[in-house]
Amino acid sequence: MTETVRVRFAPSPTGALHIGGAHTALFNWLWARRMGGSFILRIEDSDRQRSTEAFEKTILSGMRWLGLDWDEGPDCGGDYGPYRQSERLDIYHRYAEELVGRGLAYREGEAIIQHVPQDRTLLFEDIVYGSIEIKSETIKDTVLIKSDGTPTYNFAVVVDDHTMAINYVIRGEDHIINTPKQILVYDALGWEIPHFAHLPMILGEDKKKLSKRQGATSVYDYRDLGYIPEGIFNFLALLGWSAGEDKEIFDRDEATALFDLSKVIKRKAVFDMKKLGFVNQEHLKRLDPARRLELISPFWKDLGLGKGNFDEAYLLRALDLLEGRGQTLKEMAEYSDFFLSFGPVKARYDGKDLSDETRAVLAPFFEALLELETWNHDAMADLARHWAGEQGMKLKDLAMPLRWALTGRKVSPGIFEVAAHLGREEVRHRLRHYGLAG
């Protein structure tokens, strides 16, 4: 008979959900889902000065955005609540008093401090790091309850984890050094010690602990940059763990099926934006078209582009023509702007490179193009090839000017596909603007 896995993610609401926290939450979630256990969300707001309700809200919504749903938490309740430390003060006091009563802790002013034995070797088995031992001499007596009546982190986590029946403590490697202190509390209270699994830290490109000063650090920063939850989830899962069999691109369900805590490695991982971009792009390519359209809309809006009178089929097809171009929604929105409006095209291309001679050479071709009986890619490509052949020109001599006039860029999806999709009248309008058609 095996115990039901209960894990928790316990952020303190003193900032948005950052990448490191998301990584920890993700691995907890993966383990809970893999083992058919419960994922608990607990808010560690015992630092009343820095904790805010707003931050708590953004952390919760950040997790929802990433698809990390929890079974028990401050918003949905559960059998082990309350789920905010600020609402559990009496519990901490009860246990702290108990230790004082048994002579294992003492008062100093309003504070309660635990006696730390000086002759013990504290040993624990970590699922990721193996056995770790620290001599108790190196630990000073530790404060359990602060003078203001709130519990310290090391005391509160233990009381919470035990009273919430957490049996797997999965958290960042920076907590390894706290673990012995916590074990002392477990021992003093006579509680069973949970399984510990510390996760390698995520480093910035400078190989230092990821911090605010290194640009985007909250998951919402990445969302606003155009990364999608599937991409971030996949990329984060790759840090410290691998699915095996050279499988690097996967969705939530695949990751859940393959995840194993004992396969987590110890080495710290650098957060590499380039790879994030690649992984995100792979998920962008796999996205359901309708959802992709829904997700990209805000980014068009940011560019000042409305969906205007375009129907859904037109927009869907426009994104389809991008064929994997763009690593983020933001890039996709930029790359497709000319489908929504001629405005940005005019803004970046003035046609001044077109001499009268060039216009004279190109105009007849564009006239013929606009007269085409069937308005589609093949007909345009055929015409262009024949025309180029007869005039001793290269296909690109015709394609590039058209590309500039239609998109305002030197790169774009296949230009005849673009022209076909834009429609004959819109193409005529743009060519006329640049004096390339009558």
Least CB distance from residue 337 to RNA, whole Å? Answer: 14
- Ramachandran angles phi, psi of 437, nearest 5°: -155, 155
* Residue 193 near RNA by CB under 7 A: no
What tokens appear for 230 in the block? 């599937």
Per CB under 7 A, which region of 72-80, 290-298, 342-350, 414-422 contacts RNA? 414-422
Residue 314 · residue 420 · CB < 8 Å: no
Give 233 or 241: the residue with its C-beta nearer to RNA.
241
Identify the residue among 175, 195, 307, 424 touching RNA (CB under 7 A): 175
Per CB under 7 A, contacts with RNA among 279-318 are 281
Strand partners, 84: 43
Per CB under 7 A, contacts with RNA among 34-93 are 44, 46-47, 50, 85
Per CB under 7 A, contacts with RNA among 386-405 are 395-396, 399-400, 403
Per CB under 7 A, contacts with RNA among 91-120 are 108-109, 111
Give 268 or 346: the residue with its C-beta nearer to RNA.
268
| Closest of 376, 375, 430 to residue 403, by C-alpha | 430
* Residue 347 near RNA by CB under 7 A: no
Per CB under 7 A, which region of 60-68, 128-136, 291-299, 355-363 contacts RNA? 128-136
Per CB under 7 A, which region of 141-149, 186-194, 214-222, 353-361 contacts RNA? 141-149
* Residue 349 near RNA by CB under 7 A: no
* Residue 265 near RNA by CB under 7 A: yes
The one catalytic residue in 212, 263, 266, 301 is 212
The DSSP annotation for 44-80 comes to: ----TTT--HHHHHHHHHHHHHHT---SBBTTTB-TT
| Closest of 100, 128, 362, 145 to residue 263, by C-alpha | 128
Identify the residue among 16, 238, 405, 427 touching RNA (CB under 7 A): 238
212 is catalytic: yes
* Residue 244 near RNA by CB under 7 A: yes
Give 298 or 414: the residue with its C-beta nearer to RNA.
414
Q: How far is CA 319 from CA 224, 232, 276, 285, 291, in A?
A: 19, 21, 21, 10, 11
The DSSP annotation for 223-240 comes to: HHHT--HHHHHHHHHTSS
Q: Rounded to whole angstroms, how far apart are CA atoms 13 and 141?
A: 28
Q: How far is CA 127 from CA 20, 167, 169, 171, 257, in A?
A: 19, 13, 10, 12, 19
Catalytic residues: 212
